């Protein structure tokens, strides 16, 4: 019995010593980007998945550099709208997107298509 108790304490200590992943959460839970060696984005808006499946196809896929350059423009416009208080029904947080960081094609692609989704759903102009 004592061995089981010591073993369970040891397992709890090992589990507690794992380094937690830092997560940058946006207010209202719209976008979540995980900060580690690999980045991950999660769109919580329930309409996005259906919209994405209807609008994205491999034929429309672009390079990571294309997505990065478009995201820089959209993030700047998004943050500008946030600071000026425009589109408060849709934009309720600032996005911290660094041009020096390579988030990978999956994150960049998903963020780009989320901006397209926001343009369609909320009638916001993010891309010129």
The DSSP code for 79 is H
In a domain, 2, yes or no: no
Q: How far, in Å, CA of 114 to CA of 51, rounded?
A: 9
In a domain, 115, yes or no: yes
For the chain, what is the domain count? Answer: 1
Q: Tell me the residue range of the domain where 115 lies.
A: 21-122
From the number of C-beta atoms within 10 Å of its C-beta (0-12, 13-18, 19+), residue 76 rates as: middle
In a domain, 45, yes or no: yes
- The pLDDT profile of the chain, 128 residues, written as one tens digit per residue, is 444 433 434 444 444 444 444 444 444 445 555 544 588 888 999 999 999 999 999 999 999 999 999 999 999 999 999 999 999 999 989 999 999 999 999 999 999 999 999 999 999 999 98
Q: What is the pTM of this model?
A: 0.70
In a domain, 12, yes or no: no
In a domain, 87, yes or no: yes
């Amino acid at each position: 019995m004592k061995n089981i108790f010591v073993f369970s304490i040891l397992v709890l200590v090992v589990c507690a010593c794992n380094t937690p992943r830092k997560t940058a959460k946006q207010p209202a839970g719209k976008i979540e980007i995980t900060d580690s060696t690999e980045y991950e984005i999660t769109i919580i808006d329930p309409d996005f998945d259906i919209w994405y499946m209807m609008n994205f196809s491999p034929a429309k896929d672009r390079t990571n550099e294309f997505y990065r350059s478009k995201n820089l423009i959209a993030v700047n416009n998004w943050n500008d709208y946030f600071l000026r208080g425009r589109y408060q029904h849709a934009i309720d947080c600032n996005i911290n997107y660094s041009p020096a960081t390579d988030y990978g094609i999956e994150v960049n692609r998903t963020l780009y298509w989320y901006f397209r989704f926001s343009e369609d759903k909320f009638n916001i102009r993010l891309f010129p």
